[in-house]
Amino acid sequence: MTQFQKGVRMSLSPNSNVMREVFVSGTGLIPFGKFPELSLGDLGWPAVREAILESGLVVEQIDAVYCGCALGGMLAGQRVMKKIGKTGMPIINVENACSSSSSALSIAWLEIASGRQDAVLVIGVEKLTKFGGGTLPLEHEDWEVRQGMVMPAIYAMRAQRYMHEFGLTERQLAEVSVKAHKHGALNPRAQITKTVTVEEVMGARKVADPFTLWHCCPTGDGAAAVLLTSKSLSTRGEAKPVRISASDVTSGVFTSGFRDMTWAELSARGAREAYEIAGIGPEDIDVAELHDAFTIAELMYYEALGFCNKGDGYGLLASGRTSLGGDCVVNPSGGLLSRGHPVGATGVAQAVEISRQLQNRAGKHQVDKAKVGLTHATGGGVAGYDHGACSIHIFEV
């Protein structure tokens, strides 16, 4: 057993008399990549259209829209929705770094669970090609950022400390990338559909020691959408509706002192809360999409989510249990490392992937007999925090 035990359902669980059940009734996703010729609205509307058509609802039945976008500028949701000719309802834009659209998903979940709305559209959209490449722009008012603490640097420091503490080798770390790209090669909507070898990963251009290019997620453009509904509207489409049994968003705890760089405290805390809401434990998860922005993150999040004990992340990877064919498959889509990480689109893209996995329609990267899935997205980039935000959702059929 890990540190996690079976949870007890909270009083605000959608299975209680207080909250309604919430379902994913439609999903939409465009291929991730680099599309400098397209606007933010151009990227977003095809995913929205796909989600609406899949749900079996008509656009007039949408009560509200929540749009997650981190770096797209003002009124991202309005810019997308005008492309499909449906405006006038509440359109709320949410920014929470890489957790932007998964935070929007959580708010939409609460809207339906509380009975306030019956059909809420959630959009995740981002256009990073407008920056022309390089690392994500962070705020220079932050003293760590002024000292050069971009995201590859901080994750590289985590990797170095983890290697020191637990004996992880660079070759073993490279195996995370190999797995991600093996999965991504089966996903036609992934940004990178090329497999790589350990030697290719280790021999690529250095980014931040011990990372080479293949240890880091690519930047790009993308969009995803899900239509959440109450139970009464969930059976209009052809696909089996997927219930969201837990939605948890929490923030990091600020400290100006020592931080254990080998332990993702925020993700572990969020996981405990999500498992308690859903009334399950990590051993019940069949498939997960987690925030593997860099290779070390996947191993650390295995541990934080309770899939193994601290320091045992590589052992779990090496066992094959998290690869396709295993009993707890992680990132069958290819994850951020292969599917790509257009920041604001990532959280909803994870929800689309897990929903389709549970509906048995993920194609060549389908996880066999998946019934319970989890999504995990963190948002970082502020001095003194493990991460600024973390959102975890649990899905069931």
What's the mean pLDDT in 229-243? 94
pLDDT digits (tens, 9 = 90+) for 372-387: 999 999 987 666 677 7
pLDDT attached to residue 259: 80
Active site residue 216: no
Fold of 23-130+218-233+240-396: Peroxisomal Thiolase; Chain A, domain 1 (3.40.47)
Local confidence band at 132 (pLDDT 50, 70, 90 cut-offs): confident
Domain ranges of the chain: 23-130+218-233+240-396
Q: Which of 67, 69, 98, 308 is catalytic?
A: 98
pLDDT digits (tens, 9 = 90+) for 184-198: 999 999 999 999 999
Residue 17 has pLDDT above 70, yes or no: no
The total number of residues shown for the chain amounts to 397
Residue 15 has pLDDT above 50, yes or no: no
Residue 9 has pLDDT above 50, yes or no: no
Instruction: Report pTM.
Output: 0.93
pLDDT attached to residue 188: 97
Distance between CA atoms of residues 30 and 47, nearest Å = 6
